[in-house]
Amino acid sequence: MSDFLAEEELLAAIDMGSNSFHLAIARLDHGEVRKVASMSEKVQLAAGLDENNHLNEAAQQRGLECLSRFVGRLGAVTPNRLRIVATNALRQAENSQEFMQRAAEILPKPIEIIAGREEARLIYLGVSHTMANGGRRLVVDIGGGSTEFIIGEDFEPIHTESLQMGCVAYTKAFFADGSISPKAFERAVAAAKKEIRAIASTYQATGWDTVVGSSGTIKACRQVLVSLGLSDAQENILYEGLQVLKDRLLKVSDIKQIDFEGLRDDRRAVLPAGLAILWAIFDVLKLDKMAYSDGALREGVMYDLLGRFRHEDIRDRSVQAMMARYHADQRQAERVVNTARHLFEQVAPALQLDADSADLLRRAAYLHEVGLAISHGGYHRHGAYLLQHSDIPGFSQVDQSRLALLVANHRRKLKADQQEQVLKSGGLPLLHLCLLLRLAVLLHHSRSDQQVPEVQLSVKDSHTWQLGINDHGQANLLFLSDLQEEQQQFAHWGIHLEILNTALTLHTSPLHTPGQEAE
């Protein structure tokens, strides 16, 4: 990624929500993101999930056709200025990889499936950039499959939560046949209240000055309330207005009969479920009113992308926060990072590794020892587990999986099943990064500031790497023995590692050292 984004350059975000897909294209104008074009289509991906969370063919086809239309609008946007994020429906889908592989044939960039709390963080970022007032705010976003709750100040979130309730999921659960009854509505409200109560005490203890809603469901309810004269002068959603809207809705027996002024046709089917969730939020959190913001996930994604161009990457802050949380050795991490960078720069052109690969390797090098906070034995596996399953702001699920694989394979034996996982997750580039990290860590086994042997890494061909060592008397026999053991591990993954060093001329084949570390 380039170091800056020039004024007037375009950037874009695709938000693959559980109900709707959105495309936003914007221009950087005096440091601010100014939207110049947008598209939105009702895809209802979540409606295609069956009882086994399998995404059916019809829903996949709707999504792929929509993405094809979006791509037609991206001609002036280069891939490095585009992000494509997917939310709850693809988080839940057991066959999400199948859909993503099909989408990869259409899209200029891979889809990032983001975790619920990361979705909440990005929503807050989008809302906070579109709100003039400061202070502490509660932001609520009702989506198709999940609802996000965020408390924050200025541009920084304090609490982020994603609850499993959304207008499409609740429509399937409580209004599947299209009929509307007080009993069905109350069941939906009760289910939503149960979810909200899990976070209510923490959120209420933190408190807020203002409440802001975003995205389609809250926008639709607000438009209906405004058209009915049930909002205030600032067109806020009021508790009393919601009560009237609820009473009017329950006089309708079928979704097809809903005919509120200001309500778009494509919102009619999910209005009862959406209103039930919104009513539960007002009731449990004891809200009087809620403002509305046009900022949402896609705007947050673009501001987050802009931050990466400005070297304000949340991912690097998250790495440092995780190191501090698990008391990782900063000095050792820096040693490994610097050596990993040195090795990477020597072979990146030959291995066709890009800037994103450099960033991934650097972050994995910083985090390779976080598992020591749990146990020394098998700490690479503990670290991988933490990276795979933690909420790490700024990272997609794919990013976290790749970080986890790098950390999991930075030491001990390399096995065929691990190689298969690595290749499936990131192809040959990720496999090569694993090997580079192993070498960087091995060179710093002494954990000291003493200068390590000078090394020169080169790629002879697709299956042969050559490591030259100018030891100047620094390379001891244990280090050289470790390198020879590493030759065997590289070979397990199909890479022949040649070691060029005068201290090794006595050995014509890799050594097998007694007392080798157990798996």
DSSP sequence for 47-112: GGB-TT-PBPHHHHHHHHHHHHHHHTT-TTS-GGGEEEEE-HHHHH-TTHHHHHHHHHTT-SS--E
Which residues form the domain of 247? 131-293
pTM to 2 decimals?
0.82
Residues whose CB falls within 8 Å of the CB of residue 148, separated by 6 or more in sequence, listed in order:
116, 119, 120, 123, 139, 140, 141, 160, 161, 162, 163
Burial of 488 (0-12, 13-18, 19+ CB in 10 A): middle
What pLDDT digit, counting tens, does each position of 276-307 carry?
999 999 999 999 999 999 889 999 999 899 88
Tell whether 462 is covered by a domain.
Answer: no
Residue 56 reports pLDDT greater than 80: yes
d(CA 23, CA 70): 7
Q: Are both 26 and 102 inside the same structural domain?
A: yes
Cα three-residue angle 54-426-323, rounded to 5 degrees = 100
Do the Cβ atoms of 358 and 344 come closer than 8 Å? yes
Band of pLDDT at residue 518, cut at 50, 70 and 90: very low
The CA distance from 281 to 285, in Å, is 6
- The residue type of 180 is I
Report the number of distinct structural domains present in the chain: 3
* Separation of alpha carbons 363 and 392, rounded Å: 12
Q: Are residues 317 and 424 in the same domain?
A: yes
Single out the residue in 402, 429, 451 at which a domain terminates.
451
**pLDDT value, residue 480:** 80
Q: 327: phi > 0 → left, psi -120 to 50 → alpha, else beta; which?
A: left
| Region of residue 190 (phi > 0: left; psi between -120 and 50: alpha; otherwise: beta) | alpha
DSSP string of 345-398, one letter each residue? HHHHHHHT--HHHHHHHHHHHHHTTGGGGT-STTHHHHHHHHHHHS--TT--HH
> How many whole angstroms separate alpha carbon 221 and alpha carbon 277?
11
Q: Can you tell me the distance from the alpha carbon of 493 to that of 432, in angstroms, rounded to the nearest whole number?
A: 10
Structure-token match 């959406």, residue found? 274
pLDDT in tens, 382-402: 999 999 999 898 898 899 999
Residues 263 and 392 in one domain: no
Q: Which amino acid is at 160?
A: T
Give residues with Cβ within 8 angstroms of 30, minimum separation 6: 7
Structure tokens that stand for 330 in this block: 């900063």
- Does residue 502 sit within a domain? no
Distances (CA, A) of 289 to 51, 209, 293, 308, 373: 36, 11, 14, 35, 45
Q: With beta carbons less than 8 A apart as the criterion, state whether 130 and 293 touch.
A: yes
Lowest mean pLDDT among 30-34, 155-159, 392-396, 499-503: 499-503
152 with 285, same domain? yes
- Report d(CA 434, CA 452) in Å as an integer: 20
Q: Is the pLDDT of residue 515 over 60?
A: no
Whole-angstrom Cα distance, residue 261 to residue 258? 10
Within a domain: 464: no
Residue 4, both tokens? 């800056």
> Position 69: which residue type?
R
Q: Mark whether 108 and 146 lie in a shared domain.
A: no
Q: What is the structure's pLDDT at 311?
A: 75
Chosen domain end from 264, 293, 322: 293
Structural domain includes residue 457:
no
> How is residue 308 written in tokens?
């990466």
* CA 26 – CA 38 distance, rounded (Å): 9
Question: Has residue 143 been placed in a domain?
Answer: yes
Instruction: Answer yes or no: do 338 and 379 share one domain.
Output: yes
**pLDDT above 80 for 433:** yes
Our measurement of the distance from residue 70's CA atom to the centroid of its chain's CA atoms, rounded to an integer in Å, reads: 21
Task: Burial-class residue 358 by CB neighbours within 10 Å (0-12, 13-18, 19+).
Answer: middle
Beta-carbon contacts of residue 88 (< 8 Å; ≥ 6 apart): 17, 18, 46, 116, 119, 143, 144, 145, 146, 162, 164, 166
CATH code of 74's domain = 3.30.420.40
Residue 138's CATH number:
3.30.420.150
The pLDDT confidence band at residue 516, using thresholds 50, 70 and 90, is: very low
On average, the pLDDT of the chain sits at 91
CA distance 239 to 254: 24
Q: Are residues 164 and 26 in the same domain?
A: no
Question: In the structure, what pLDDT confidence band is assigned to residue 81 with cuts at 50, 70 and 90?
Answer: very high
Question: Which of the residue ranges 4-18, 40-54, 379-393, 420-434 would you say has the lowest mean pLDDT?
Answer: 4-18
The CATH number covering residue 432 comes to 1.10.3210.10
72 & 213 share domain: no
What is the C-alpha end-to-end distance of the chain, expressed in Å? 38
Query: Which pair of tokens denotes residue 419?
Result: 């190689």
Residue-level pLDDT at 7: 52
Does 481 fall in a domain? Answer: no
Residue 99 vs residues 58, 245, 511: alpha-carbon distances, Å? 12, 38, 46
CA dihedral of 253, 255, 261, 262, whole degrees rounded to 10: 150
In a domain, 51, yes or no: yes
CA distances, 435 to each of 94, 400, 409 (Å): 31, 18, 8
**3-class DSSP state for residue 441?**
helix
Confidence grade of residue 8 (pLDDT, cut at 50, 70, 90): low
Distance of alpha carbon 196 from alpha carbon 218, whole angstroms: 17
Report percent pLDDT > 90 for the chain: 78
pLDDT in tens, 204-254: 999 999 999 999 999 999 999 999 999 999 999 999 999 999 999 999 999
pLDDT at 420: 96
Strand partners, 464: 461, 496
Instruction: Specify whether 282 is located in the same domain as 372.
Output: no
pLDDT band at 264; cut points 50, 70, 90: confident
Within-domain flag for 202: yes
Domain co-membership, 45 together with 176: no
The answer to whether residues 148 and 268 belong to one domain is yes
Do 259 and 332 have their domain in common? Answer: no
Q: Measured between alpha carbons, how far is 347 from 431 in angstroms, rounded to an integer?
A: 13
Q: Which pLDDT score is estimated for 332?
A: 97
